Structure 1
Amino acid sequence: MIYQKIYSSRRYPGTSQLCLDQILRSSTVNNHTLDITGLLLVEGGRFFQIIEGPRDNVELLYAIIGRDLRHGELHPIANRRREERSFPHWSMAFREADTIEHGSNCFELSHDTVMWGPLARCDTLLRGLVEDFLQQAKPDCRGCVEFFGDLAPSETRAH
């Protein structure tokens, strides 16, 4: 059984593109060590992330992320258990991907690349949350989406 944590956060002013490149590099190594995969979307001052793997490892990583000075205002959206990974390979997407030194796991953030790439085989909840993130015109988060139909009753959700 795989555990997923979905959250959004804000990038602190002054966090440069170089910092984002460092996040990509360190995440690739650290996530592999912790058996964590997922998806990180970055646009302007906002992050949207889905991390998945063994529950203890996901919670450990989330605690580390919570102490990271490059961003804050973590807003948990959902925790849930899945039969299998939604993202067998870790991915990161940027609105302006050409400004980042990246490899094959980094791509430009657009509706088509996300929906037909990493999310092509994902469930309705994940696709809906990412759609909401992509459609937000303002740089601030509006809160979480109000549908959680495929969450197990024992799982949590936050607003």
Structure 2
Amino acid sequence: MSDRTPSPTQTNGTPPASPGNEKIRQLVYVSQASHGLTSADMADILVEARTRNEVCNISGMLLMNNGQFMQCVEGPSGAVEELIDGIGRDERHCFMSILLDHFIETRDFDCWLMGFKDLSSNKHFANNDDVMDSAFLSEMSHPSRAVALLSSFAKL
């Protein structure tokens, strides 16, 4: 990635705690990048996401591998709904499919306004298009597996 890309561990702060007893909505989706998505585009996406997420009390993790995305977002239900609606209209990716949408008691990514890992640059994943293929995604449809995968990459 270019010098403009924020570090994978850079979060620009952490989301505030959810007010009162409001449950936290957690949603995981996968999608495919549109052709021509550049490192500069990814840097812009991350800056926009981290800025918006701080204001909207959203946390999450985004994985990318050879133009495939898997993302978890968590926060107040209305904020997550608005975010996902916007992401669904974003022309920088397509073929969005929601794997998980449920409520949780505590955040799994509370230290991340938007964590990011590009697996394409990892020698174990580079040029490995089956990292997020249909067989893999069918395994991720179980809530604990999808979140566990994202959490494991957040720790790298």
TM range (shorter): 0.5 to 0.7
Query: For the structure 1 residues 140 and 4, does the alpha-carbon distance in structure 2 shift closer, same or farther, using more than 3 Å as the test?
Result: closer
Q: Supply the distance in 2 between the matched residues of 1:109 and 1:83 (Cα, whole angstroms).
A: 36
TM-score scaled by length of structure 2: 0.66
Identity within the alignment, %: 27
Size of the alignment, in residue pairs?
A: 117
Superposed CA RMSD? 2.7
When normalised by structure 1's length, the TM-score is 0.65
Matched letter for residue 141 of structure 1: D
**Residue correspondence of structure 1 range 7-86 to structure 2 within 5 A:** 7-86=29-108
SS in 1 for 2:88: helix
Q: Is the 8 A contact 1:11 1:71 kept in 2?
A: yes
Q: Compare the two structures and name the one with the higher helix fraction.
A: 2
Q: CA offsets, 1:28-56, max 9 Å, x none?
A: 10111110001000111100000000001
Which consecutive residues of structure 1, in runs of 5 or more, have no partner in the other structure? 98-107, 112-135, 151-159
Give the letter for the 1:138 counterpart.
Answer: D
Shift of the 144–95 alpha-carbon distance from structure 1 to 2, 3 Å rule, reads same
Distance 1:29 1:49, change over 3 A: same
User: Paired residue for 2:117, among 93, 97, 103?
Assistant: 93
| Aligned residue number for residue 144 of structure 1 | 138
Structure number with greater CO (CA < 8 Å, separation at least 6) is 2
Q: State the shift of 1:72 in Å.
A: 1.1
Runs of 4+ in 1 over 6 A off after TM superposition: 108-111
Letter aligned with residue 25 of structure 1: V
